[in-house]
Amino acid sequence: MDLIQKLLNITLIPSTFFALLLLVPPFYVLKFLSSLFKSCLNHESVAGKVALITGASSGIGEELAYEYARRGARLALVARREDRLRSVLDKALQLGSPDAMIIPADVSNIEDSQRFVAQTVNHFGQFPHLRKSRGKIVVISSAAAWCLPPRMSFYNASKAATISFFETLRAEFGPDIGITIVTPGFTKTEMTSDQLLEQMGVKTLPFAVPLESAERCAKAIVKSTCRGDMYLIEPSWTRTLMWLKWFLAAPVDWCFRFLLGKHRVIH
C-alpha cells in the first residue's frame, strides 16, 4: 500500500495540475456566460411564498425581511428580541408583505427550533414540505470561514463548519431542495460594532475596511437565491482575499501576525 501511495504522489499531483490548467479556464467561461444568461431571464417570483428568516431582528436578517416583503412574500420572523421583531414586522407589512408573523425564539435551543417550525406550519400550512415544493434554504456563513482573521477562532470555525454541513446536505438532498450558501464579507451590522469588537479583544479593526450596507447585501442574497445560485460571495471583491489565502498562505499568515502584533488588543 505504501508503494501505491508513493506512486500516486508522483503521478497524480502533476497530472491533476495539468488537467486543471486545461479544464478550469473553459469552465469559468461557461459559468460566466451562464450567469449572463440567467441575468437576462425573469427571476423566480417569491410573491405569496413563505420565507422563514432567523436572526430577523437586526442586520442582514432584518434587511432580508424587508427585501422579501417588497417582493410580496409571506414572512415568519424569528429572533430572541421580541421588541425588535415587532418593529421589523410593522415595517415589513408596510413594505408589502401580505402576511407576516413573529416568533421569539433562540435557534440554539432545539425545542425553540422545533416550535418555530411548527408555528410556521400551523400559520401558513405549507412551509416544511420543501422537497415537494422544491423549496430553498439560504445559509448565511461568513468570509471568515476561509479568510480566518485572528482572535476570532471560534467564530471562524463555526462558519467553516456551517459551509461543510450544508454542502453535505446539498449532496444528500440532490436537486429537489436548492441550497444557496452565502459568505458575506465586511458588512455594517451589530457584528462589526466597536462594542462587539471589544468583546472579542480588539479595540478597532486593525486596518481601514470598507463596510457594505446590510440592505445592499440582502438585495444581493435574494437575487442570488432566486437565480438558484449555489454560492454567493458578497461583496464580490472579497473573493480576492480567498485567492490570496489559497495561493499565498504564508504571506497572508505573516500579515495577520504583523497586524495583530502592531495592533493594541485587550488581554
Q: What is the DSSP letter of 233?
A: E
Question: Which residue in 28, 66, 155, 231 is the catalytic one?
Answer: 155
| Residue 68: active-site member | no
> 3-state SS string over 43-67?
CCCCCCCEEEEECCCCHHHHHHHHH
Cα–Cα distance, 70 to 109 (Å, whole number): 30
Instruction: Please choose, from the candidates 67, 26, 71, 66, the residue with its C-alpha nearest in 3D space to the C-alpha of residue 49.
Output: 71
Contact 115, 91 (CB under 8 A): no
Buried b (16+ CB within 10 A) or exposed e, 186-195: bbbbebeeee
* Active site positions, annotated: 155
